[in-house]
Amino acid sequence: MKILVTGGAGFIGSHTLVELNAAGHETVVIDNLSNSNRKSLERVAELTGKEIPFYEVDIRDREGLNRVMEAHHFDACIHFAGFKAVGESVEKPWEYYENNISGTLTLLDVMRQHGCKNIIFSSSSTVYGNPAIIPISEECPKGHCTNPYGQTKSMLEEIMMDMQKADKEWNIVLLRYFNPIGAHPSGRIGEYPNGIPNNLMPYVTQVAVGKRTELGVFGNDYPTHDGTGVRDYIHVVDLARGHVAALKAIERKCGIAIYNLGTGQGYSVLDVVTTFEKVNGIKIPYSIKPRRAGDIATCYSDPSKAEKELGWKAQYGLEEMCRDSWNWQKNNPEGY
């Protein structure tokens, strides 16, 4: 298939490009580089042996999108472009709603005008809020999102479901990611957050590389096996392959389809720290800090629907995630 990848220069997008090309698909990227670097695409070209056509276009730029869609006929779009920092979204709600919601609305409109009504959307387990059931299946009702970032994901899911209800030509796959970490095993592509990392694994790798002195563990009084928060970490290469598998749903004209992408395993903050230390032979100093506002105790998926319907199952475990996160960080201490 020929696939438009929005946000393809970013963390998950770049890994997905590698897997799409390995599976024989043709890809074209648009990205405004607001949170990425075009070097990631050079590295993808190195890994795939193919030049990936790239347009520096903002998804809010209707004319720019029209130019790309006039130059190519796409079978589907995989839509990663958007802002994703939870804390920043609380500080800058307008910017988050404008970029994520207006941008997606413009993209959807230009797509339908060009007769491409197949889309895979990056959603998040955050739409479940404080989950009503654990493990979380797709049947679990959506919950209250405590921040504008989560709201944009939840609202965009609703918008796309309404559009599909009104126009059955749309095939829309909503992928709810759990906690993506790791990097390509080559160490050539990975994640490099701006400023102080908010998420656990980038913080751990920055402590390991000596950029930060110690990890703060946000709370050790949760009702979990060691008191620290439990999450479903998933290797970004597995996540990327989940998008290749999701194209099967598009091919069989799924209408609306929702899948969790997780491993189904929950690990605590201290499980991550001790596994990282063991696999990489590096001590991670940490101290216990108060709970972080908005955090929940436990969140992990029931990923069986994706296995049953798409034949997709995560292959990598926490050890590989820790190994590959570190391999990327140590080879690229300043990112790209």
Known catalytic residues are 149
The span from the CA of 307 to the CA of 317, in Å, is: 16
C-beta of 13: minimal distance to ligand NAD in Å? 5
| Chain centroid offset of residue 245 CA | 15
The reply on whether position 180 binds ligand NAD by CB under 6 A is yes
Which part of the chain contacts ligand NAD (CB under 6 A), choosing from 82-90, 159-167, 275-283, 301-309? 82-90
Where would I find the H helices in 114-170? 148-166
With respect to ligand NAD, which residue has the nearer C-beta, 11 or 74? 11
Interacting residues with ligand UD1 between 272 and 331 (CB under 6 A): 292, 294-295
C-beta of 272: minimal distance to ligand UD1 in Å? 7
The residues, any chain, with a CB within 8 Å of residue 166's CB and separated by 6 or more, are none
In 3-state terms, what secondary structure has residue 49?
coil
Interacting residues with ligand NAD between 38 and 77 (CB under 6 A): 58-60
Residue 64's binding partner among ligand UD1, ligand NAD, none (Cβ under 5 to 8 angstroms by kind) is none
- Is residue 74 within 8 A of residue 28, CB to CB? The reply is yes
Which part of the chain contacts ligand NAD (CB under 6 A), choosing from 66-74, 80-88, 164-172, 200-208? 80-88
User: Which residues in the chain belong to E strands, given as ranges?
Assistant: 2-6, 26-30, 54-55, 76-79, 118-124, 171-177, 179-181, 215-218, 230-231, 233-235, 256-261, 267-268, 286-289, 298-299
Among positions 11, 192, 203, 312, the unique one binding ligand UD1 when judged by CB under 6 A: 203
Residue nearest to ligand NAD (CB): 10
Residue 60's binding partner among ligand UD1, ligand NAD, none (Cβ under 5 to 8 angstroms by kind) is ligand NAD
The reply on whether position 313 binds ligand NAD by CB under 6 A is no
With respect to ligand UD1, which residue has the nearer C-beta, 137 or 199? 199
The reply on whether position 136 binds ligand NAD by CB under 6 A is no
Pull the structure tokens for residue 296: 């929940």
Among positions 64, 82, 266, 303, the unique one binding ligand NAD when judged by CB under 6 A: 82
- The residue assigned the tokens 């042996």 is 49
The reply on whether position 126 binds ligand UD1 by CB under 6 A is yes
The span from the CA of 187 to the CA of 190, in Å, is: 7
Residue 31's binding partner among ligand UD1, ligand NAD, none (Cβ under 5 to 8 angstroms by kind) is ligand NAD
The reply on whether position 280 binds ligand NAD by CB under 6 A is no
The reply on whether position 135 binds ligand UD1 by CB under 6 A is no
The reply on whether position 192 binds ligand UD1 by CB under 6 A is no
207: exposed, middle or buried (Cβ count in 10 Å: 0-12, 13-18, 19+): buried
81: exposed, middle or buried (Cβ count in 10 Å: 0-12, 13-18, 19+): buried
With respect to ligand NAD, which residue has the nearer C-beta, 31 or 232? 31
DSSP letters for 195-257: SS--SHHHHHHHHHTTSSS-EEEE-S-SSSSSSS-EE-EEEHHHHHHHHHHHHHHHHTT-SEE
Binding site for ligand UD1 (CB under 6 A): 86, 124, 126, 150, 179, 198-200, 203, 215-218, 229, 231, 269, 292, 294-295
Binding site for ligand NAD (CB under 6 A): 7, 9-13, 31-36, 58-60, 80-84, 99, 103, 122, 124, 177, 180
